[in-house]
Structure 1
Amino acid sequence: MAHLFGAGHDSDAFLIAWTVPEMASTLLIEDAMALLMVPAFSQALARRAAARAGLTRKEARAQDPVRLLVGATLPRLAVLLAAVASVLIVAAPAVVAVLAPGLPDPALAVQCTRMTALTVLSFGLAGYFSAALRAHRSFVPPAAIYVSYNIGIIGTMVALHALWGVRAAAAGVAVGGLLMVLVQLPAFIRNVGFGPPRARVCLSDQAGSAGVRARHRGPGLIRETGPMGAPRSQRDRDRPTLIAFGVIAPVIFFAVFRQSQVLVERFLAASLPPGAISHLNYAQKVAQMPMVLSLMICTVTFPVVAQAMAGGEREKARRRVERDLALAALAVLMGTALVIGYAPQIIQVLFERGAFTHTDTLATASVMRVYGIGLLGHCLVGALSRPFFSTARPTWFPACAMGAGLLVNIVAGALAVGWWGIYGIAAANAAGISTTAALLLTGLGSRIIAIQVRQVAVSIGRLAVSAAAACGTGWIAGPKIADPTLSAALGCLLVPAMFGATGMAIRALEVTALPGQIARFSSQFTQRFRNDR
């Protein structure tokens, strides 16, 4: 993208259109869909295990709570997402006007938005498949979705950029979304399926009749299944739980508030000189890589926490959450030290070619260093939100905390953009997300899982000291080597070494215990990979 289109009007127009898949990704893959459907599938799996005793294979398949859940949710979800995508395609001019009112020429952004709107449907299906597979402890296909997505984008851009310009990138987003669905489809069919066989109703005077009843209550469907004459407790146990508005609303508002940070950035940056939106985007995407890697730990263990909460094993959930927070903070802070200390070298290696100039490198690296201040907050918000939504009925507290952080972001950004431009926008983002992280950390222990908040905060503080020392070392050492590739490569060795040495010196337990934890995690991941194969 940077090589072909640089950082200017065309790339800004595409990034306005890319707001649609970014929002869809948050709602339908990373946050809302996962936070809703992983616990739902986990509970259905628990009911399946309890209900299979004494049933034949055919009966168990017909009354499988997992397949019933799929049958009750997936068709309606697909219709809803297709309708939303259609509305976005028709209303693309209005969408662009709202997202970037200061954009000089919105026509190109409108054309790109109409293509990226297709991801609402494809991302929704991909997120649904991913949640179901993760609940079944199948992690390899969901992990491959973004590889497939990027292959679709890059392949389409390379093939069509000479004809379509930046529109080729928007078309690639649509192609990549389709590949995200296809890469998971075989595993989903194998592990989950698309719903139970059609129930046959037999009427007999001598034998009980099997049947299926459905009733509507509120915005969502709650389907009752099982023998007509079975006790109500059995029917309640067997029916799939689907999800009235009061249950999904806290998750949706949390996800929307979280992704709205990007909307705030692009709204404020639209009035700045051309390229500002692109510099912010490149800086954000590179800076967030440590956060994405650190949250893989929580993504893998979220079904474990959800099943522990569903089974009433709160002590097991507490230990798992505290361990995840420590490992995620360690990973993100080590990565933060690298991306701040070696920001110019990293951006130069990744982007400085073709239409992306050295001036773009300096601007992107500078704003990435400001973004890096908020990486710990982003990581903690992702890790801390999962336990809140692992219970049967999600709480409104994360949405309120995220709303408070968004308000800080809006106010601080509006005040700072006039003085510091894109740097003020990035600093406001860091302030807002850090506010949310602090609220979630203090609220988790008193509302959901009794984690030791003070001990967790002290541990994170020690890791932050290690990160500061490693970051300072990299910032000083990076410019000493003229070749950016060699400098960044050596930084990948120097920063972790300094981080570990400082952690050992101040006796940060997470650092001293790291070798054993890496060995255990590698063993578990290898075993799961073999099982998936």
Structure 2
Amino acid sequence: MSLVRKFASVGGATMMSRVLGFAREALMAAALGAGPYADVFFAAFRFPNLFRRLFAEGAFNAAFVPLFARHYEGEGRRDAERFSTEVFSVLFSALLLLTILMELAMPLIVATVVAPGFADDPDKFDATVTLSMIMFPYLMCMSLAAMMAGILNSLQHYFAAAIAPVFLNVILIAVLGAALYAGTEAEAVALWMSWGVLAAGLLQLAIVTIGARKAGIFVSFRMPRLTPNVKRLLILAGPAAITGGITQINLVIGQIIASQKDGAISVLQYADRIYQLPLGIVGIAIGVVLLPELARALRGERHEEAAHLQSRSLEFALLLTLPASAAILTVSPEIVRVLYERGAFTEDTTAIVSAVLAIFGLGLPAFVLIKCFQPAFYARENTRIPMIFSMISVAVNITLALSLFPSLEERGIATAEIAAGWTNALGLLTVLLIRGHWRPDRQLLGRLPRLLLSAAIMGAALWFASGWTARWFGVGDFLAHLASLLVLVALACVLYFGLAYAIGGVDRHELRRAFRRRRAGPVEETPPDMLA
């Protein structure tokens, strides 16, 4: 299977999750708006999400996948299964202890970490504590699920792991739909959603566990022991956990600062949800697929193949990310209006959220580039360098957020986050080039400026066209808003891809070959097509 088809498999499942996420956010905007219980739910849910990134996805994508692949390819399935059981036993025990401690300390954690700005409002504070206690066990479910997903990804069973998150949105959509139909009070809606999150965590864990069993890996629980294999995993996972969770860390920092203003947390969340769509489809797909592909190439000392994979992944990422960034920057009010403006979500809220979203659009390429560059280090079992730049980016984020929030409010927090993202991406690129781990090939260097030019022209055209369609967006009919946005989307697609093809930024014949190709040998036997 070609590299782009693997990206498409993960990206397609992620897109389904993101689209359902939009539906969930639209229902939530109608039910809660940017009111106090929206702030409460987002604040409570952010905390287990942070730990999920720190202890699960970041650590296992970076450390577990290369080690599992080494055991599986070196000694076979039984050795890989033994290694997985050792890791599962330690992980399960550690998570159970962490969950108990966090449940007992939740009031203190909410007051000092989750939302210190809620301390002056007893109702919001108590509700945040309750919801956090309900949802924190979600961390345990998702951490174990991330391990099972790592097994599936190592075995190139990408789709099952990618489709599992869809069920979180399915369950929450059902909860919100029932609540809106019944006219439920906002406080009860937030409570129902919290229980829905926990139920979704259990369901996702079941899905990937069944998937791993079908792939031939049976993981069981034994008395936890710190074997040499587990110690090696922990050595790699420590820095990787910090790195993998850095986006969530930056978001929590923004949340802590934003909790000083009513509605600010919700504004950032609504904007974040939109730009996470292209980031999820492109960035997450690349991060999931590229790591095991690079690890296999480097383990076989096929360095040319590794460099080819890196260049084609970057080219694929920029092909889709640059137009998304330009579109978000130029027509963010239209996007927000169609997706959210109804019920408790007013025109004033649209103006605030769209301003924050436009800023996030400037940072979208950086966040995708990070997903391209980090696997180059992880595949070499180097988790320290990504951790260093992640910590630097946190420092940048904190400094700028504290400096800009008093004057720019939510826009200041968004600006701090994208500055941190670009600091991280450029730092990783610099080290890759200095150490000689990767050199961009002629094809990438030739096509990058053409893609940039195509995206810039498309963005300018969208900016002018949005003025012509403003009269349609000005009326209160949803269908008129949707039709106008679809016109802009169609214009953007035709103009960008038409220009990119016309000036040599992309070749449709190479793209077709990339989708049709099956498993290939080393890179020297592979035609140098764009996305192979």
| TM-score between both structures, scaled by the size of structure 1 | 0.82
Deviation at 1:6, TM superposition (A): 0.8
Q: Hey, what does 1:337 align to over in structure 2?
A: 326
Determine helix, strand or coil for the equivalent of 1:122: helix
**2:81 aligned to 52, 67, 74, which one?**
67
Alignment of 1:280-291 (within 5 A): 280-291=268-279
1:513 aligns with 2:507: yes
1:305 aligns with 2:294: yes
Alignment of 1:23-422 (within 5 A): 23-28=50-55, 30-49=57-76, 64-97=78-111, 98-103=113-118, 104-105=120-121, 106-159=125-178, 162=184, 164-195=188-219, 220-222=226-228, 243-272=232-261, 274-295=262-283, 296-391=285-380, 393-422=381-410
Q: Pick closer, same or farther for the CA change 1:457–1:8 going to 2, 3 Å.
A: farther
CA offsets, 1:9-56, max 9 Å, x none? 11111111111232134235542221112112211221135xxxxxxx
CA offsets, 1:441-486, max 9 Å, x none? 1111333723238985775454333222212221221242312201
Q: Hey, what does 1:54 align to over in structure 2?
A: none
Determine helix, strand or coil for the equivalent of 2:227: strand
Q: Pick closer, same or farther for the CA change 1:438–1:125 going to 2, 3 Å.
A: same
Matching residue's letter, 1:181:
L
Determine the C-alpha separation between the residues in 1 that align with 2:108 and 2:454: 48
Stretch of structure 1 that moved more, 84-93 or 1-10: 84-93
Deviation at 1:195, TM superposition (A): 4.3
Determine helix, strand or coil for the equivalent of 1:322: helix
Deviation at 1:194, TM superposition (A): 2.6
Stretch of structure 1 that moved more, 123-132 or 247-256: 247-256
Q: Which runs of 5+ in 2 are unaligned?
A: 1-27, 473-479, 520-532
Q: Is the 8 A contact 1:317 1:449 kept in 2?
A: no
Q: Which runs of 5+ in 1 are unaligned?
A: 50-60, 199-213, 223-239, 526-533
Q: Is the 8 A contact 1:29 1:130 kept in 2?
A: no
Matching residue's letter, 1:69:
F
Q: Pick closer, same or farther for the CA change 1:99–1:115 going to 2, 3 Å.
A: same
CA RMSD across the alignment: 2.6
Deviation at 1:180, TM superposition (A): 1.2
Determine the C-alpha separation between the residues in 2 that align with 1:411 and 1:515: 48
Determine helix, strand or coil for the equivalent of 1:394: coil
Q: Tell me the percent identity.
A: 25
Determine helix, strand or coil for the equivalent of 1:87: helix
Determine the C-alpha separation between the residues in 1 that align with 2:199 and 2:209: 16
CA offsets, 1:113-168, max 9 Å, x none? 11120111111111011110011111121121121121122223334672722112
Deviation at 1:178, TM superposition (A): 1.4
Q: Pick closer, same or farther for the CA change 1:197–1:173 going to 2, 3 Å.
A: closer
Deviation at 1:363, TM superposition (A): 1.4
Q: 1 or 2, which has the higher helix percentage?
A: 2
Deviation at 1:504, TM superposition (A): 4.5
Question: Which is bigger in relative contact order (C-alpha 8 A, separation at least 6)?
Answer: 2
Determine helix, strand or coil for the equivalent of 1:452: coil
CA offsets, 1:89-115, max 9 Å, x none? 222212211222212421111111111
Larger C-alpha radius of gyration, 1 or 2?
1
Q: Is the 8 A contact 1:36 1:389 kept in 2?
A: yes
| TM-score between both structures, scaled by the size of structure 2 | 0.83
Matching residue's letter, 1:485:
L
Determine the C-alpha separation between the residues in 1 that align with 2:148 and 2:428: 28
Q: How many positions carry a matched residue from both structures?
A: 472
Q: Pick closer, same or farther for the CA change 1:178–1:29 going to 2, 3 Å.
A: same
Determine the C-alpha separation between the residues in 2 that align with 1:335 and 1:444: 26
Q: Pick closer, same or farther for the CA change 1:343–1:356 going to 2, 3 Å.
A: same
